[in-house]
């Protein structure tokens, strides 16, 4: 079977009895035009090693295989979907590798050689921990194009002094340039989720903070936004000697977390890392 002979996505889902499971965050994209549009948002794919997390019935996977990517490696937890994808792999010899397992336990850098891109319509129930893990290792990635619930996408891209600005905004924007690329209504998915979805593009910054500084940033943002209504001199107490920390960073202790820029969080995290 070649790519052109494959049954439609709807037929594939019906044939394999791939009814969507809520516990696996399954909302499938069955319109090839939407899948092609998302793949197109990932920029140049020629010679790239693409990791797709949660291929499901393979709509986005088909669009990625139609690109000049060197290979697509699809990580999927649902054994039923892995069986569906076997036909797709047979139609694209040597270009699709299917890894059955939990993407939370997979290191992208160990999975494929550089240049690497992650492109996925993520399972919403584990999207945030997946993203934080990839941000930790962002230096190994050329880029990521990821679909989230719109509310999460907005938090990722939010600017200071807005309600959506928080821990995820700082971590993501500290490590990557983040861009809201596309919003999709519930009806674009089968079954439709309750909320809108959105695709965010991530381009990692060149500097790699390394694990100790990344951990310090996680502790700093968790403390600051854990009590976001409090003044920073109170909110950062759990980090020890908050007054001295803020004074050294040149930040007024009466300010609240949501007013700090990513650069100011970087100054705090550098000091927290230097203390430990």
Give contact residues for ligand SAM (rule: CB under 6 A). 24-29, 53-57, 59-60, 75-78, 81, 102-104, 121, 123, 126
Alpha-carbon Rg of the chain, whole angstroms? 20
Minimum gap (Å) between residue 181 Cβ and ligand SAM: 15
Nearer to ligand SAM, 27 or 92 (CB): 27
Residues in a beta bridge with 118: 51, 144
Secondary structure (DSSP) of 194-209: SS-EEEEEEEE-S---
Nearer to ligand SAM, 77 or 180 (CB): 77
Minimum gap (Å) between residue 109 Cβ and ligand SAM: 17
The Cα 206–Cα 204 span in angstroms is: 6
Minimum gap (Å) between residue 2 Cβ and ligand SAM: 22
Nearer to ligand SAM, 59 or 201 (CB): 59
Nearer to ligand SAM, 55 or 209 (CB): 55
Nearer to ligand SAM, 6 or 77 (CB): 77
Q: Where are the alpha helices (DSSP H) in 112-256?
A: 127-136, 150-157, 167-175, 210-226, 232-235, 242-249
The Cα 234–Cα 168 span in angstroms is: 21
Nearer to ligand SAM, 102 or 163 (CB): 102
The Cα 235–Cα 228 span in angstroms is: 7
Minimum gap (Å) between residue 166 Cβ and ligand SAM: 23
Minimum gap (Å) between residue 60 Cβ and ligand SAM: 5
Please, are residues 216 and 273 in contact by the beta-carbon 8 Å criterion? yes
Which residue of this chain has its Cβ atom nearest to ligand SAM in the complex? 54
Minimum gap (Å) between residue 115 Cβ and ligand SAM: 22
The values of phi and psi at residue 78, to 5°, are -90, 115
The Cα 188–Cα 195 span in angstroms is: 11
Nearer to ligand SAM, 153 or 246 (CB): 153
Nearer to ligand SAM, 55 or 166 (CB): 55
Secondary structure (DSSP) of 11-75: HHHHHTT----GGGT--B---HHHHHHHHHTT---TT-EEEEE--TTSHHHHHHHTTT-SEEEEE
Minimum gap (Å) between residue 172 Cβ and ligand SAM: 20
Minimum gap (Å) between residue 21 Cβ and ligand SAM: 7
Q: Which two tokens stand for residue 188?
A: 């674009």
The Cα 131–Cα 146 span in angstroms is: 9
């Amino acid at each position: 079977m070649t790519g052109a002979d494959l049954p439609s996505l709807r037929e594939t889902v019906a044939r394999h009895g791939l009814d969507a499971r809520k516990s696996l965050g399954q909302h499938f994209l069955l319109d090839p035009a939407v899948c092609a549009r998302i793949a197109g948002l990932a920029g140049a794919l020629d010679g790239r090693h693409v990791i797709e997390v949660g291929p499901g019935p393979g709509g986005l996977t088909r669009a990625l295989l139609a690109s000049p990517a060197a290979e697509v490696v699809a990580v999927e937890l649902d054994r039923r979907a892995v069986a569906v994808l076997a036909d797709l792999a047979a139609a694209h010899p040597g270009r699709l590798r299917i890894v059955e397992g939990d993407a939370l336990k997979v290191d992208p850098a160990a999975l494929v050689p550089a240049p690497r891109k992650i492109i996925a319509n993520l399972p919403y129930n584990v999207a945030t921990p997946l993203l934080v893990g990839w941000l930790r290792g962002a230096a190994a990635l050329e880029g990521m194009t990821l679909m989230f619930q719109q509310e999460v996408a907005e938090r990722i891209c939010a600017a200071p002094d807005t309600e959506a600005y928080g821990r995820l905004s700082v971590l993501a924007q500290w490590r990557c340039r983040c861009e809201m690329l596309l919003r999709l209504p519930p009806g674009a998915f089968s079954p439709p989720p309750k909320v809108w979805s959105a695709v965010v593009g991530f381009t990692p910054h060149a500097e790699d903070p390394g694990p100790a500084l990344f951990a310090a940033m996680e502790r700093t943002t968790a403390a600051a936004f854990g009590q976001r209504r409090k003044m920073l001199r109170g909110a950062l107490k759990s980090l020890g000697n908050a007054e001295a920390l803020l004074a050294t960073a040149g930040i007024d202790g009466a300010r609240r977390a949501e007013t700090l820029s990513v650069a100011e969080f970087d100054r705090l995290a550098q000091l927290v890392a230097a203390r430990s």
